[in-house]
Amino acid sequence: MTGPILEARDLVRGFRLPGPLFGPRRILRAVGGVSLALAAGESLALVGESGSGKTTLGRMLVGLSRPDAGTIRFRGEVLSGPQRPVQMVFQDTAAALNPRRTVGASVMLPFLWNRRLPRAEAEAAARALFARVGLPPETFFARLPHALSGGQRQRVGIARALASDPAVLVADEPVSALDVSVRAQILRLFADLRAERGLATLFITHDLGVVRAVTQRVAVLYRGQVVEQGPTAQVMDHPRHPYTQALRAATPVPDPARARPTPPPPPDAAILPGCPFRARCPAAAPACATPPVLRNLAPDHLISCHFA
Amino acid sequence: MRLPLLALGLLLFCALAAPLLAPGDPLAGSADALLAPLSPGHPLGTDDLGRDLLALLIHGSRVSLAVGLASSVCSLAIGVLAGAVAGWLGGWADAAVMRVAEFFQTLPRFVLALIVIALAGPGIGKVIAVIAVLAWPQTARVVRAEIAALRGAAFVDAARLGGMPGPAIVLREVLPQVAGPVLVLAALDVATAILLEAGLGFFGLGDPNLASWGAMLNEAQQYLRSAWWMSVFPGLAIGATVLVFNALGDAAAASLDPRGR
Amino acid sequence: MSALLDIAGLTVALADGATLVEDLSLAVARGETVGLVGESGSGKTMTAHAVLGLFPAPGIAVTRGHIRLEGTDLATLPPAARRGVRGRRIGMVFQDPSSYLDPLLTAGRHIGEAFRAHGVTDRLPARVAAALASVDLPASAAARFPHELSGGQRQRVLIAAALALDPALLIADEPTTALDVTVQAGILDLLRRAARARGLGVLLITHDLGVVAETCDRVAVMYAGRIVEQNDVRALFAAPRHPYTQGLLASVLDPGRDAPPFAMPGGVPAAHAMPRGCRFHPRCPLALPDPCAAAVPPFAGGLACWRADAARAGAWAAA
């Protein structure tokens, strides 16, 4: 067995909050000691709600943001800054494309810089990628981003990521801004590309439906910490952490006969010491004042809870 | 877009072809036609030295445009460079650049220009330099704000992941987005510079060897009642030119919006 | 029983004649929650704008049909009376609560403004406290600024303001889309309770079928400006009849099931490029050159489809 292609160890990242003019500034810990490993060709989901730190984590993994502590290794070598083999697909398809450049030029960019191709070759390669992601280049290559639909722009975004010939793709909520019927098309494209190129993919999402549809493994993030990690089917069908259970139960289903159970209390501003989920947890007990450590439930199933 | 461009063309044509267009040497007066009113021989009349106002006006456009355009280009260059450095790098570089910019912005423009010219002696090059040095902070501020906002844009992140080095990203991805507001500012700078130059000329600090609209106004002050043409025509020329550049700025901004195409 | 809101034959068009909503008929009764479901470009939000009499851009207008609220044709009202109807008789809640709250106003002031705008100025603190209580927020929330509230709490403040004057109809446009799922359920539950307790009619506009399933009594599915199917919520989810509805339901990703994502081909057409005939026919697996591509299917029995019989077995079975 070979080692992971991308490995993060004990990543920490905080942000300084705008604080009072005098006195100590508050630091918000967006990511508090996360370790993750992604095997070649594997599809891993990173799930969490807003404020869980999943986007910050994704940005560190592609080198767009520097961790305060911890290391990221690609094929065993420590990464610092953006690298050609680790690419990203963005959520906001409009913001991710230069509004003044044709979408063709945006896809050519990595060919010209990351791969140092001459212009003519870069254009030919970019056109081929357009065709691969389902956009006929003769129609779309010379268009500006605003003349494309959201789904079409996301195809361009995927083509641009592929242009660097990556081994790892980090996709940050790649379908959450898309229409339901288009969403599935894009997810299928991801699945096909993964199979065809052996791409390891990290899906950052809040949507458990997306998790189940396209990933094999899932890591659940709560307030900057992994609270549960395991095979997707197992975690979805038998969630063990109270937070995963709450998330799973709160996911709406298109069936009027099945009602959602009452949700857990909403997140509270107060951060109690100990388990990060303590303030909302229905099973919270005095023991939760000591922070639980991530431990193995099974060889491939990790959990951070005293009671699971 | 058409009208201001046409007006700009006309202005440039006047300035470039001044010797061909103007009736005679603008600085050569004739003693027999002092303060002559409008007549077929002097369509806009003459001044107190008997110089033809039309000739002065046409030659004056050279000075105004040269000062306006040259100082605007200089302030644009300094401003974009300073703003890009401050906005892209942030941190202490940002703080340093912006403190320097603030220093120049707090200086009273006109007074400083007066002092410099009075001390260093008149000359069109000095006028251009003074105006450029005073005008760049505004451009720098705009560029800095836009670039700082774009620095975190997803398409900039994408360019970094695509292997583009920082300076290339600034130059090719970010600065073109700023072109609209910067061009508007540059056009306004031209207008301001023309006004400032006219003001200096009005105080007698222009280049005495060149015909300029400001200098014409300076001489006209004594004859406001007796020879209205001496003040009205240069005044109109300054006003119209300033308006043309303001309109150009607006038109440039509108045409650079990618959604408008 | 006469409907609270009665929309008949509504057509909304751009100045150049392109239609954003075409021949839409829909009714909402007192105490009923009706879901208007569709993807972007379906015209669902434009329908809400038409009811409110506020369009987001100039050049958009109602060109045909009428909208009656409590028996009054809204189009015949003078502008001042129309403004009175908004807020007093029709409450509104939108997707992004942050952009509808003034960052410099406390929640209490914001709700207070809703009263003041309609001339209610007496006993304001008590009224605001009652409005906050009705959305399960403590009275202390009145003193909070928007940035001190969570996304869910902000949406509750907006709902409180929308319901402040006890309107007959609430229009909720994607009220939970920007919220986390664990917060969503609470907001939907609130809307459901408000409908029941006040006899409020709710027009819930959303793209999320899960939200519809748990909140609505009736559903209308829109595609490219037209309603293609309308039914009781249980019947629609149990047996969707229109190929588009079937495809939409099949596209929902279920975290409890291993299944490859189902994708309908193509995308929603733009307002200026509407296909002739049935607007769904270019994407429909059952479409025939005639009549589907030739004539607009009539809306009858809650369905607008030429191939209703063939669709009964499931339009996408082969796909």
β-partners of residue A15 are A28
DSSP state of C86: H
Is C208 within 8 Å of chain A by CB? Answer: yes
- Interface with A, mutate which of B150, B151, B160, B161 (most A CBs under 10 A): B161
Q: Do C253 and A184 touch (CB under 8 A)?
A: yes
Whether C65 shows a pLDDT value over 80: the answer reads yes
Whether C153 shows a pLDDT value over 50: the answer reads yes
Whether B68 shows a pLDDT value over 50: the answer reads yes
Chains that touch B (3 or more CB pairs under 8 A): A
| CA pair distance C39, A178, nearest whole angstrom | 9
Could you state, in order of their start, the residue ranges of all structural domains in chain B? 52-256
| CA pair distance B203, A267, nearest whole angstrom | 69
Whether B21 shows a pLDDT value over 90: the answer reads no
Backbone angles phi, psi at A231, to 5 degrees: -60, 140
Q: Do A92 and B176 touch (CB under 8 A)?
A: no
A191 CA: distance to closest CA in chain B (Å): 22
Q: Do C213 and A179 touch (CB under 8 A)?
A: no
- Interface with C, mutate which of A17, A47, A181, A241 (most C CBs under 10 A): A181
Percent of chain A with pLDDT over 70: 92
pLDDT computed for residue A32 by the predictor = 87
Is C267 within 8 Å of chain A by CB? Answer: yes
Distance, CA of C210 to chain centre? 14
Q: Count of residues for chain B?
A: 261
Whether B20 shows a pLDDT value over 90: the answer reads no
pLDDT computed for residue B253 by the predictor = 75
| CA pair distance A74, B89, nearest whole angstrom | 28
| C/B touch flag: 3 or more CB pairs below 8 Å | no
pLDDT computed for residue C319 by the predictor = 54
Better-predicted residue by pLDDT, C271 or C108: C108
**What would the mean pLDDT of B237-256 be, rounded to a whole number?**
84
Better-predicted residue by pLDDT, A194 or A266: A194
Give residue-wise pLDDT tens across range A109-149. Answer: 999 999 999 999 999 999 999 999 999 999 999 999 999 99
Confidence category of residue A1, pLDDT binned at 50, 70, 90:
very low
Q: Do B157 and A88 touch (CB under 8 A)?
A: yes
pLDDT computed for residue B14 by the predictor = 83
Give residue-wise pLDDT tens across range C24-62. Answer: 999 999 999 999 999 888 999 999 999 998 888 888 989
Whether the Cβ atoms of residue A98 and residue A106 lie closer than 8 Å to each other: yes
pLDDT computed for residue C305 by the predictor = 93
Percent of chain B with pLDDT over 70: 97
A248 CA: distance to closest CA in chain C (Å): 8
pLDDT computed for residue A241 by the predictor = 94
Is B151 within 8 Å of chain A by CB? Answer: no
Chains that touch A (3 or more CB pairs under 8 A): B, C
| CA pair distance C287, C270, nearest whole angstrom | 20
- A296: which 2 tokens? 């193995």
Whether A187 shows a pLDDT value over 90: the answer reads yes
pLDDT computed for residue A23 by the predictor = 63
- A241: which 2 tokens? 């952490």
Confidence category of residue C132, pLDDT binned at 50, 70, 90:
very high
- Please identify which residue in the block is written with the tokens 């956009």: A135
pLDDT computed for residue A18 by the predictor = 66
Whether A263 shows a pLDDT value over 70: the answer reads no
Give residue-wise pLDDT tens across range A154-185. Answer: 999 999 999 999 999 999 999 988 888 889 89
pLDDT computed for residue B193 by the predictor = 86
Whether the Cβ atoms of residue A148 and residue A97 lie closer than 8 Å to each other: no
DSSP state of B52: B
**What would the mean pLDDT of B66-72 be, rounded to a whole number?**
89
pLDDT computed for residue A20 by the predictor = 62
Can you count the helices (H) and strands (E) in chain C?
10, 10
- Residues 6+ away with beta carbon under 8 Å from C153: A266, C137, C141, C144
In terms of Cβ atoms closer than 10 Å to its own Cβ (0-12, 13-18, 19+), residue C193 is: middle
Q: Do A252 and C213 touch (CB under 8 A)?
A: yes
Q: Average pLDDT over chain C, rounded to whole? A: 90
Helices (H), C164-313: 181-198, 209-215, 233-238, 243-251, 308-311
Class of domain B52-256: mainly alpha
Q: What single string gives the DSSP state of each residue in B19-43?
A: HHHSSS-TT---GGGTT--S-SSST
Whether B64 shows a pLDDT value over 90: the answer reads no
- Residues 6+ away with beta carbon under 8 Å from C313: none
| CA pair distance C37, C50, nearest whole angstrom | 16
pLDDT computed for residue A47 by the predictor = 95
Whether the Cβ atoms of residue B67 and residue B131 lie closer than 8 Å to each other: yes
Whether B32 shows a pLDDT value over 80: the answer reads no
In terms of Cβ atoms closer than 10 Å to its own Cβ (0-12, 13-18, 19+), residue B38 is: middle
Chain B residue numbers touching A109 (CB-CB < 8 A): 158-159, 162, 164
| CA pair distance B168, A161, nearest whole angstrom | 19
Q: Distances from the Cα of C257 to the Cαs of A175, A218, A301, B189, in angstroms?
A: 19, 15, 19, 65
Confidence category of residue B261, pLDDT binned at 50, 70, 90:
very low
Give residue-wise pLDDT tens across range A58-76. Answer: 999 999 999 999 999 999 8
Chain A residue numbers touching B155 (CB-CB < 8 A): 95-99, 106
